[in-house]
């Protein structure tokens, strides 16, 4: 069993439990009646800047590849540090079994910052979109490798009905094509193969040319510091998602600022 298959199996089991506690109908009504913080179009605009790469900074306790990264007792305080450093958006891992996250983390971060908020999880059911909307997310992650074509198309459409933007994650040419066909306006290219957990930082450059210029592109994984942000910016990324390198830094605001400085357009050659 691949790592991705194992994670998704756990996600589906936890999902069944939560659906038994709050019915899909009740949660759907709450999601439909919520007041969105930001429109999907505004989220996309926040992740693109002519002057340089944008940064999505992640609240992430555990990595399946590296184990425990940080305790993060106050996720809202960490997110505020990221925002102070200039992060354009905050990503919050909400998967509990392999990443140590929760929807409580998402709610805590929403209370602490007013920039776009991404629910990063293995979304396989509309119920999770409703959860994200109710908890205050502006953006949700959909992983092409974890979804069938009907599931991907349906979840992109349903997210829009809840007023959520979607970051559609890809790793291959075929997955990029599927993301575009599903109507994705923000596409992530993950340098980490979720089946093997191996990282290949050249994946982004290899796929970027396949993505139209009017679609926001996000480079994911493999960022060890400012030099990697610079390399992704040189390859044309609009935004870079950074997790482990930030949560393990004693000065997260400064770390964000240093990465943004490395990704400024005028400094690229």
- Known active-site residue 25: no
**Catalytic option among 95, 131, 169, 175:** 169
- Known active-site residue 221: yes
**Catalytic option among 60, 63, 95, 175:** 60
Residues in the chain: 269
The SS3 of residue 236 is: coil
**Catalytic option among 120, 131, 175, 244:** 120
Q: How far is Cα 8 from Cα 67, in angstroms, rounded to an integer?
A: 18
- Known active-site residue 190: yes
Single out the residue of 89, 55, 86, 50 nearest to residue 265, CA to CA: 50
- Known active-site residue 91: no
The SS3 of residue 119 is: strand
Burial of 104 (C-beta count, 10 Å sphere; 0-12/13-18/19+): exposed
**For residue 61, what are its two tokens?**
């306790």
| Residue position matching structure tokens 């925002």 | 83
- Known active-site residue 131: no
Q: Is the dihedral of CA 172, 193, 159, 247 positive or negative?
A: negative
- Known active-site residue 196: no
**Catalytic option among 63, 91, 190, 244:** 190
CB 232 within 8 A of CB 217: no
Q: How far is Cα 176 from Cα 188, in angstroms, rounded to an integer?
A: 9
**Catalytic option among 95, 131, 175, 220:** 220
Longest Cα–Cα distance of the chain, Å, equals: 55
**Catalytic option among 63, 91, 221, 244:** 221
Q: How far is Cα 75 from Cα 85, in angstroms, rounded to an integer?
A: 16
| Strand pairing category for 62-63 and 67-68 | antiparallel
CB 55 within 8 A of CB 259: yes
- Known active-site residue 151: no
Which residues are marked as active site? 58, 60, 120, 169, 190, 220-221
């Amino acid at each position: 069993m691949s790592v991705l298959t194992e994670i998704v199996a756990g996600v589906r089991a936890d999902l069944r439990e939560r659906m038994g506690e709050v019915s899909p109908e009740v949660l759907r009504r709450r999601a439909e009646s919520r007041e969105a913080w930001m429109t999907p179009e505004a989220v996309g605009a926040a992740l693109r800047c002519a002057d340089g790469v944008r940064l999505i900074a992640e609240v992430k306790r555990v990595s399946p590849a590296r184990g425990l990264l940080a305790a993060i007792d106050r996720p809202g305080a960490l997110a505020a540090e990221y925002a102070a450093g200039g992060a354009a958006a905050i990503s919050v891992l909400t998967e509990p079994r392999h990443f140590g996250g929760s929807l409580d983390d998402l709610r805590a971060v929403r209370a602490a910052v007013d920039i776009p908020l991404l629910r990063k999880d293995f979304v396989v059911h509309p119920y999770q979109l409703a959860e994200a909307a109710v908890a205050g997310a502006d953006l949700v992650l959909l992983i092409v490798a974890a979804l069938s074509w009907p599931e991907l198309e349906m979840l992109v459409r349903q997210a829009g009905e809840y007023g959520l933007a979607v970051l559609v994650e890809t790793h291959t040419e075929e997955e990029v094509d599927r993301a575009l066909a599903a109507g994705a306006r923000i596409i992530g290219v993950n340098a980490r193969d979720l089946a093997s957990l191996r990282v290949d930082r050249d994946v982004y450059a290899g796929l970027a040319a396949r993505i139209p210029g009017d679609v926001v592109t996000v480079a994911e994984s493999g960022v060890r510091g400012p030099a990697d942000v610079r390399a992704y910016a040189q390859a044309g990324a609009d935004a870079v998602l950074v997790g482990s390198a930030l949560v393990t830094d004693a000065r997260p605001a400064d770390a964000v600022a240093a990465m943004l400085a490395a990704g400024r357009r005028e400094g690229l050659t």
